[in-house]
């Protein structure tokens, strides 16, 4: 298992120092390893979806949702996972990147049924049945800010991507304001890619304009991997899933963190590209039971 010192690059270290949590982050960072434990492998094998973050051929960051029957993503060794092909909707912006050997990817498996999540980051290899990821970072996160949902049924097969643009439509803006969950993909070049989760009550993501969003940074595990990546590289990709309809909204752009004098933190995101789709074969989920932590979202 890697140590805390090797787990962080200069970006997270700078944010940890600024916020005053360096010692705590060093302790928490000991959970970041390269090995996939048996309990983590069992968890992966039960998941019907996986969020993957990476850069496309033009260097834009995206977060994409891969789906399939449980077992479509599985651990095939102590530091390797395999993903079955065909798990992306037609026209997804990461289709080419996830078919190219050497792509740096960040992944997160999140189970709304149990409010558990796991992150695995590494380098992609092409396989006959899809792709594999050689895992360089593997770690779990606490269930804080995750909403509980129950699966209902498989979505009818959708058409894949239905709209592209460079700004939010009125309907897309409403979807963002209604969201209680989204995923964010970031990178720090040589230090690889990462995919993370953000959760809150509907409205926690503000639509400042059709090309600008903002959201608060709630108190978390003190690693600051996402904000640390953004300190080194502003590129980011957001994924807003509609749990009840199977629709997905993907945004690519640039983000920066604002640090308040009162200790608060806020991320502002400039939209550069928008992809809206209807995900085929994705599970539809129930309305949420909100995280109990959302009553005390100290930032």
Domain CATH number, residue 81: 2.30.110.10
pLDDT digits (tens, 9 = 90+) for 143-196: 888 899 998 877 666 667 789 999 999 999 999 999 999 999 999 867 789 999
Confidence at residue 158, expressed as pLDDT on a 0 to 100 scale:
67
Q: What is the pLDDT of residue 34?
A: 82
Query: The tokens of 161 are what?
Result: 């991507």
- Average pLDDT over the chain, rounded to whole? 89
Helix (H) or strand (E) holding 228: helix 225-232
For 153, the token pair is 């049924």
Whole domain around residue 25: which residue ranges? 4-295
Tens digits of residue pLDDT in 195-230 = 999 999 999 999 999 999 999 988 777 788 888 899
pLDDT at 251 over 80: yes
- The pLDDT-based confidence of 298 (bands split at 50, 70, 90) is very low
Region 96-115: mean pLDDT is: 95
Look at residue 297 and tell me whether its pLDDT is greater than 50. no
What's the structural domain count of the chain? 1
- In a 3-state reduction of DSSP, which class is residue 143? coil
Determine contact, residues 145/184, Cβ cutoff 8 Å: no
> Which pLDDT value is given to residue 283?
79
pTM comes to: 0.92
Query: Tokens 């498996």 sit at which residue?
Result: 109
pLDDT at 9 over 90: no
């Amino acid at each position: 298992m890697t140590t805390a010192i090797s787990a962080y690059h200069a970006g997270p270290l700078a944010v940890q120092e600024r916020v005053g949590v360096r010692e705590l982050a060093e302790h928490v960072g000991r959970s970041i390893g390269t090995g996939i434990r048996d309990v983590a492998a069992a968890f992966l094998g039960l998941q019907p979806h996986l969020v993957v973050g990476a850069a496309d051929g033009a260097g834009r960051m995206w977060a994409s949702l891969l789906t399939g029957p449980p077992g479509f993503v599985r651990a095939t060794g102590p530091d390797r996972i395999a993903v079955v092909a065909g798990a992306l909707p037609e026209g997804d912006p990461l289709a080419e990147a996830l078919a190219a050997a050497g792509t740096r990817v960040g992944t997160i498996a999140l189970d709304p049924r149990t409010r558990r999540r796991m992150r695995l980051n590494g380098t992609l290899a092409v396989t006959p049945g899809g792709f594999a990821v050689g895992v360089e970072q593997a770690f779990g996160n606490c269930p804080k800010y995750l909403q509980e949902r129950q699966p209902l049924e498989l979505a009818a097969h959708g058409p894949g991507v239905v709209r592209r643009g460079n700004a939010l439509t009125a309907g897309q803006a409403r979807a963002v304001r209604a969201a209680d969950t989204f995923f964010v993909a970031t990178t720090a070049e040589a230090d690889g890619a990462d995919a993370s989760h953000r959760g809150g009550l509907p409205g926690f993501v503000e639509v400042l304009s059709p090309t600008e969003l903002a959201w608060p940074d709630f108190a978390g595990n003190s690693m600051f991997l996402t904000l640390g990546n953004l300190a080194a590289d502003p590129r980011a990709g957001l994924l807003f899933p509609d749990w009840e309809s199977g629709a997905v909204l993907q945004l690519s752009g640039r983000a920066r963190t604002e640090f308040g004098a009162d200790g608060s933190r806020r991320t502002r995101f400039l939209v550069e590209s928008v992809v809206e789709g209807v995900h085929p074969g994705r599970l539809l989920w129930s309305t949420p039971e909100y995280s109990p932590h959302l009553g005390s979202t100290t930032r």
